[in-house]
């Protein structure tokens, strides 16, 4: 927590005991901050890449190849060391997992082209840290919904085909009638099977 935020919160906490004296509350909050800092509870340190550490060189040769593919696909050439640090933290990745990340990075790069001019694009380190590559994965709920939607589409098509086959079986010569009655039977079986399986 930053000192400013702590002082604001602590001063608000001390307001009732100090009979709503703002200056006195701030003094108490500052003294508390100083005491906590002396005990080692001060401001948290940022988790940025350590100065002088070349995280790209820390990657194994296989990880460097994977990272290079990601970096090209992500196509936003800022903060390479931070991104390399995050890649290094993720450890060795399977080819399948790496391909998913690279594919998602390419999609992000394509979407970035439509970003409004006043919006700052996310850098690779933040994108990896927030695991944005999982955003496009289809959940089980979505899979079930897609499956139900596919069944509804198939049912609509079969019902249309069935209505057409019935109309055709009611008109024309007897030879065509037999063919269309056979189609009615086949389509009816497909509809029955679809209903039983879903």
> Stretch 80-92: mean pLDDT, rounded?
93
Q: How far apart, in whole angstroms, are the C-alpha atoms of residue 26 and residue 8?
A: 8
What pLDDT does residue 137 have? Answer: 66
Q: How far apart, in whole angstroms, are the C-alpha atoms of residue 33 and residue 7?
A: 7
Q: How far apart, in whole angstroms, are the C-alpha atoms of residue 127 and residue 106?
A: 12
- DSSP state, 40? T
Nearest to 28 by CA among 40, 11, 4: 11
- DSSP state, 46? P
Highest mean pLDDT among 38-47, 97-106, 129-138: 97-106
Q: How far apart, in whole angstroms, are the C-alpha atoms of residue 90 and residue 137?
A: 19
Nearest to 88 by CA among 64, 111, 68: 64
- Residues 87-106 as b or e (16 or more Cβ within 10 Å = b): bbebeebeeeebebbbebbb
What pLDDT does residue 51 have? Answer: 66
pLDDT > 90? residue 36: no
Dihedral, 10, 14, 16, 18 alpha carbons, nearest 10: -150
User: What sign results for the dihedral spanned by CA atoms 65, 70, 75, 77?
Assistant: negative
Domain extent listing, the chain:
3-38, 55-134, 140-197
pLDDT > 80? residue 183: yes
Average pLDDT score, the chain: 85
* Banded model confidence at residue 52, pLDDT cuts 50, 70, 90: confident
């Amino acid at each position: 927590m930053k000192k400013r935020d702590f002082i604001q919160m602590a001063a608000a906490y001390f307001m009732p005991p100090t009979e709503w004296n703002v200056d006195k509350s701030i003094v108490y909050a500052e003294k508390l901050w100083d005491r906590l800092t002396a005990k080692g509870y001060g401001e948290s340190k940022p988790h940025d890449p350590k100065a002088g550490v070349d995280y790209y060189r820390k990657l194994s040769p296989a990880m460097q190849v994977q990272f290079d593919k990601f970096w090209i696909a992500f196509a936003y050439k800022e903060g390479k060391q931070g991104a390399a640090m995050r890649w290094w933290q993720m450890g060795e990745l399977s080819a399948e997992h790496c391909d998913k990340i690279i594919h998602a990075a390419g999609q992000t790069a394509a979407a970035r082209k439509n970003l409004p001019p006043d919006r700052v694009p996310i850098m690779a380190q933040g994108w990896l840290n927030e695991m944005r590559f999982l955003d496009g994965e289809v959940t089980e709920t979505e899979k079930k919904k897609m499956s139900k939607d596919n069944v509804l589409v198939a049912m609509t098509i079969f019902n249309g085909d069935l209505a057409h086959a019935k109309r055709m079986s009611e008109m024309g010569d007897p030879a065509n009638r037999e063919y269309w009655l056979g189609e009615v039977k086949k389509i009816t079986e497909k509809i029955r099977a679809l209903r039983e399986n879903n």
